[in-house]
Structure 1
Amino acid sequence: MRQIPNPILVKDIMTKSLITVESSATVNEAAKMMESAKVGSVLVMEQNVPVGIMTDRDFAIKIAAHAYPIHTKVKQVMSSPLVHIRPDDEVWVAADLMYSRKIRRLPVLDEDELCGIVTATDFVRMFTVCNREDTRKMYYHALTKIFDDANEHEIASF
């Protein structure tokens, strides 16, 4: 009898070391933290509760393109509301959420407690070691999503 492997959960692939910044910090301070930690984002906190995320894309699009000064507060340019996922959700749910929202970083919250982040890099790392059954699940999930999206469009135009 063939044994079905346990699903891969978000907590199995998430990065647990996080860089956070208070919403009152300046974008210059946030950029220096990102450079020092060699990361592409910082999670923005208010009273120990995550309220947003500041990404390298926010710097390129919001700050550089609009010529905000370096003393601008992170709260003014962070991405919010914070799109997040739970640690016990399956990775396919996270991948689908990231794809549909067009984001590359997804904070992991257990209740209001920040416990990790899932990034596109985490998925690449996971895919390099996944087995045949994992690949089948990904393929099935992708086909189901395509089929569901096609039907949704067909129903909408009916």
Structure 2
Amino acid sequence: MTDAKTITIGDIMTKSVISVDSALTINETAKMMEDGKVGAVIVMENNVPVGIVTDRDFSVKVAAHAYQITEPVKQIMSSPLFSVNSDEPVRIAADLMHERKIRKLPVIDDGKVVGIITATDIVSLLAVSVEEDMRDMYFHSVAKIYSNYSPYN
């Protein structure tokens, strides 16, 4: 296996990403996510990524604010959109996830969405790493990302 310190975001990201127009309804977006079996979609305006909607946005924002499912998905998207490049090291994604308290990041190269990386992708990388790399990645990346969700903080 390649040294975990040299693995890039492009090596572990999910390459198939669903994107939707910002005018699509909340309900239509939810159906697309269900059909695609994905936990997030990228929201686009004029073919430019402007936001992200995750499964958590449906459970929290729609319920908490009583948005009608016929309203545009733009109402519940998270924006501004934070992203990473595919050629960056995985640590960059982990640091951004920790800093922004997010678990899903679109991967954008030259203005084009080429994938998505999640906290789960980073954890999965641990499963195929040698012990030294696992320890290093855990203490540098995974512990940071999930510290936001720990009941002990």
Matched residues in 2 for 1:7 and 1:134: separation? Answer: 10
Q: Deviations over 1:45-85 (max 9, x none)?
A: 11211110011111111111111111110112210010100
Corresponding position of 1:32: 31
What SS does the corresponding residue of 1:58 show, helix, strand or coil? helix
Corresponding position of 1:150: none
Corresponding position of 1:125: 124
Contact 2:25–2:72 under 8 Å retained in 1:
yes
Matched residues in 2 for 1:34 and 1:139: separation? Answer: 30
Matched residues in 2 for 1:120 and 1:140: separation? Answer: 14
Task: Note the C-alpha offset of 1:28.
Answer: 0.3
Task: Note the C-alpha offset of 1:38.
Answer: 1.1
Q: Deviations over 1:76-120 (max 9, x none)?
A: 221001010011110011111111211110000112111000012
What SS does the corresponding residue of 1:71 show, helix, strand or coil? coil
Corresponding position of 1:14: 13
**CA distance change for structure 1 residues 108 and 77 in 2, over 3 Å: closer, same or farther?**
same
Matched residues in 2 for 1:34 and 1:132: separation? Answer: 36
Regions of 4+ moved over 6 Å: none
TM-score, length of structure 2 as denominator length: 0.84
Matched residues in 2 for 1:93 and 1:71: separation? Answer: 37
Corresponding position of 2:76: 77
Matched residues in 1 for 2:138 and 2:39: separation? Answer: 29
Alignment of 1:140-151 (within 5 A): 141=140
What SS does the corresponding residue of 2:24 show, helix, strand or coil? coil
Higher relative contact order (CA 8 A, sep 6+): 2
Corresponding position of 1:108: 107
**CA distance change for structure 1 residues 140 and 73 in 2, over 3 Å: closer, same or farther?**
closer
Contact 2:126–2:137 under 8 Å retained in 1:
no
**CA distance change for structure 1 residues 62 and 136 in 2, over 3 Å: closer, same or farther?**
closer
Matched residues in 1 for 2:29 and 2:40: separation? Answer: 9
What SS does the corresponding residue of 1:32 show, helix, strand or coil? helix
TM-score, length of structure 1 as denominator length: 0.82
**Superposition CA RMSD, Å:** 1.8
Unaligned runs of 5+ in 1: 146-158
Same amino acid, percent of matched pairs:
58
Corresponding position of 2:58: 59
Paired letter, 1:63: V
Unaligned runs of 5+ in 2: 145-153
The count of corresponding residues between Structure 1 and Structure 2 is 140
What SS does the corresponding residue of 1:16 show, helix, strand or coil? coil
